[in-house]
Amino acid sequence: MDTVNHRLPLPYILCIIACFFLGPPENAISAERTTYIVHMDKSFKPESSTTHKHWYSSIVDSLNGDKKSSFLAGRSFTTTPSLQYTYDHAVHGFSASFGLEELENLKKSPGFVSAYSDKTATVDTTDFLSLNPFTGLWPASNYGEDIIIGVLDSGVWPESESFKDHGMTANIPSKWKGTCEEGQEFNASLSRDTNGHGTHTSSTAAGNYVDDVSYFGYAKRTARGVAPRSRVAVYKVSWAEGEYASDVLAGIDQAIADGVDVILISLGFNDAPLYEDPIAVASFAAMEKGVMLSSSAGNHGPGLGTLHNGIPWVLTVAAGTMDRSLAGTVILGNGLTLVGFTFFPGNATVRDLSLVYDKTLSACDSSKLLSQVSPESIVICDETWPVDDQIRQVTAAQLAGAIFISNSTQVGYFTCPGAVISPKDAYKVIKYVESSENPTVSIKFQETFLGAKPAPLAAVYSSRGPSPSYANILKPDVMAPGNLVLAAYVPSSPAGVIGTNELLPSNYALKSGTSMSCPHASGVAALLKSAHPDWSPAAIRSAMLTTANPLGNTKNPIRDYDLEFASPFAIGSGQIDPNRALDRGLIYDATPQDYVNLLSSLNFTRNQILAITRSEAHNLSSPSSDLNYPSFIALYDNQMTTSRVQKFERVVTNVGDGAAKYKVSATAPKGSEVTVIPETLVFLNKYEKQRYSLSIKYGWDIRGRVSFGAIIWVEENGNHTVRSPIVVSPVS
C-alpha cells in the first residue's frame, strides 16, 4: 500500500511484528467533499504510468479544478481532489475525496469500475479450549511458531508483558516482507493503542506467557494467547474519529503484501453489500493468496439477521460464555450462603450490614429514591431494570452496596460493592428479609470459581444470522469464548471504576464481545496453519466447523442466554474444539473459482463482481449458488402452500492417513425430512475426493419457524466424526 498525506506505514518492531498506520482519518472534512473508495481495472493502466500509484495520482490530478481554500471548525482545507490511499493487493484502486462533479468526471476515466463513499465500521468489543502442552494442537503446531497474525485494530501497547519475546525464535520469518521501523519517525502519540481494544485482541490471539495475572484479584492465572509462539503484525485502522473503510482496505492491502498468514479483524460494516464491504472485498484477495481471515459477528444480538461479516470466504465468529465464574459470596444473617456474580475491583468489606428490600424503590432506577435508604445499607434490586443502569443509580446514591437480581452478567463496570444473584436464589433472600426483624448480609469479593454449568451459553449480545449480505450461507460459523475475557490492556485507559470518579488503571482487563471471541478463533487458525501449512483457508475453516462442539459441559446441547437450546444462527456449528480440528478426517475445500461461481449466480453487475475479484481472469460463465460449504441452510417464503425440496451437492476430501469408510447419520430439523445419497463414502487413498447430495423436504406447516438439525459422517473405526449443521428458516 502507498499512502499520501500524513497516514504513513511507519511500523514498530518488538519481539513480534507490530505495524501502525499513522495519522487519524480526515474523512468528511468538508461538507463539499466526500471520501470515496474507487475500484479500477488495472489492465487499463497506460504504459506511460510506471506504477499503479502514478496512474491513480494522474487521474486525481486531472480532476483538479481551481485551487481554493476554506475553513471548517477552525481547520483549513483544500477543495481540490485529495488522494488518500492507493491499493494494489486487496483491491485495485484508491481512495480520495471528491466533489460530485469531480466524481462524475472520474466515472469517464478509462478503467473505472465503481466508486462508493467511505463507510464507518462498528467495533465488536481459565482455558476453556482444552489446549494441552503435551498432546493435541499445541505441540503439533509448536504453539504456532512463526505464523504471522495480522491484526487490524486500534494499535498495540508494545511495552505489555504479553508482547515480550522470551521463548521466541531469534529471527523474523523470511516470508515477512513488511518494514518495521523504530526511532525518530515513530510517533507514539499517534500510533499506539489508546483504548485497549487492539492490545486486548492481539494478546488473546498470540500473547506470550505472563505469570500471576488477574483483574484486581479476579481470574488470577498465567495469561497467554491461543497461539503464544505466533508473531503479530498490528495495523492501526481504528481511531478516535472512528473506523473507516478506506483505512481497513489499506490495512488488509498492506497485510497481504507483508506476508501474514492469518488476518484478525474484530470490527465490521453493517448493511453493506458484498461489493461495497471493504472486508468482503479485501478478504477475497487474501483468500486467493492463501491468507485466512477471521472476523467477529457483531454485538447486536439477540435478534435474527443482525450479524455483519457474513461473508462466504471468511470465518465469522460468535461469542459465548465460559465455565469460569467471577464471584462474590453472599452470606445472609441466618447463615444461608449464595454464590453471586461480581467483579467489583475494590478490596471492599461488606460485613453484617443492614439488608433492605423495599418494593417502592426496588427497581433501583432512581438515585433520588435510593438516597432515602441509610447509606450503610445493602439494597436488593429487582429484575426490572438493566443491571448496568441499576449499578449506576446505586453508585450515585452512595449506598454501601446492593444485591442485583438477574440472570444477566452483561456489566460494563462494577462501580459499587455488590453481587448479582439469580432469580431462583432471590426468593430465599427476599423471604429472609421479610421474615427477619433485623436482616443483615455480608459479601466476599475477589473470588473465582471454575466449572460453572451450563457452559458455554450463547452470549445475549452476540449477533445472529442469517447473514444480511448473503443469507444462503449459514452464518455465524462457530462460537468461541467472548465473555469477560482476561487479556492485556493499556495502562492509560481505565480498566475499572469505583464510585463516580475513581478510575483504576490495569495492565490486564476483562472485556466482553465478539471482538474477544474472534481472536480465539484466529489463534486456532494460526495453530492449524502451522500444523497443516498446505491447507487452504477453506480447509482450515472446514476443520474448525466440522469439529466444533454443539454440546455444553452438561453433555446437553448448548443453550442460548435464555436457556433455550441455541440455534446455529447463534452459535454456528458450536464451540471451537482446537484439538479435534487438528486431526480432521474429511474437509470441505473451495477454490477461488468456486466463490466466483457463487458471485456469478447473484444479481450483481459485471462491475460489482469485478470490484470483488479485481480481475476478469476468472470464469463468470458457470454460476452456482451451491458452494461447497460445511453447513446447510434452506430458506423458505412464509407464503408457501405446498411442500418443497431443496437439494445440495457437496464434495469432501479425505485428509486422514489412508483408506477410510464413512457412514452418515442425520438428524432432521423439526417438520422436515433429510435424505443423503449415498449413505456411505469409501476412500481408498489420502486426498481422494467423494461427492454426495443432501435433500431437505419441508412443508407449509413449518411456516414462521426456525428449525435445525445436523448430519454427521462417522468413520467406520470411530476415529473421526465430521458434523455439519442444518437450518430451515423463513427468508425474513
Q: In this structure, are residues 623 and 604 in contact, taking their beta carbons and an 8 Å threshold?
A: no
Cis preceding-peptide flag for 456 (omega within 30 of 0): yes
Whose CA is closest to 42, among 88, 103, 96, 101?
Answer: 88
Q: What 3-state DSSP class applies to 198?
A: helix
Q: In this structure, are residues 114 and 39 in contact, taking their beta carbons and an 8 Å threshold?
A: yes
> Using H for helix, E for strand and C for coil, what is the string for 72-108?
ECCEEEECCCEEEEEECCCCCEEEEEECHHHHHHHCC
In the annotation, is 197 catalytic? yes
Residue whose C-alpha cell is 465460559: 322
Local structure of residue 116 (DSSP, 8 states): E
CA distances from 593 to 210, 280, 317, 622, 639 (A): 44, 16, 24, 9, 35
Q: In this structure, are residues 635 and 466 in contact, taking their beta carbons and an 8 Å threshold?
A: yes
Q: What 3-state DSSP class applies to 290?
A: coil
Burial 440-471 (b: 16+ CB within 10 A, else e): bbbbbbbbbeeebebbbbbbbbbbbbbbbbbb
Phi-psi bin for 167: left (phi > 0), alpha (psi -120 to 50), beta?
left
Q: What 3-state DSSP class applies to 2?
A: strand
The active-site residue out of 294, 515, 724, 729 is 515
- The number of C-alpha atoms within 13 Å of 406 and in the hemisphere containing its C-beta is 27
- The number of C-alpha atoms within 13 Å of 674 and in the hemisphere containing its C-beta is 25
Displacement of CA 326 from its chain's centroid (Å): 23
In the annotation, is 153 catalytic? yes
Rounded CA gap, 275 and 469, in Å?
10
In the annotation, is 583 catalytic? no
Displacement of CA 363 from its chain's centroid (Å): 34
List all residues 6 or more positions away from 280 whose beta carbon is below 8 Å from its beta carbon.
272, 274, 311, 314, 469, 612
Partner residues linked to 725 by β-bridges: 710
- What beta strand segments (E) does 640-706 contain? 644-654, 660-667, 672-677, 680-683, 689-698
The active-site residue out of 146, 153, 247, 577 is 153
Q: In this structure, are residues 722 and 711 in contact, taking their beta carbons and an 8 Å threshold?
A: no
Rounded CA gap, 580 and 597, in Å?
31
List all residues 6 or more positions away from 605 whose beta carbon is below 8 Å from its beta carbon.
none
Whose CA is closest to 575, among 339, 215, 278, 321?
Answer: 321
List all residues 6 or more positions away from 188 whose beta carbon is below 8 Å from its beta carbon.
none
Count the Cβ atoms, other than its own, within 10 Å of residue 334: 11
Rounded CA gap, 40 and 57, in Å?
13
The active-site residue out of 39, 52, 89, 197 is 197
Q: What 3-state DSSP class applies to 612?
A: helix
Q: Which three cell numbers stand for residue 26?
A: 480526515
For the annotated catalytic residues, the residue numbers are 153, 197, 515
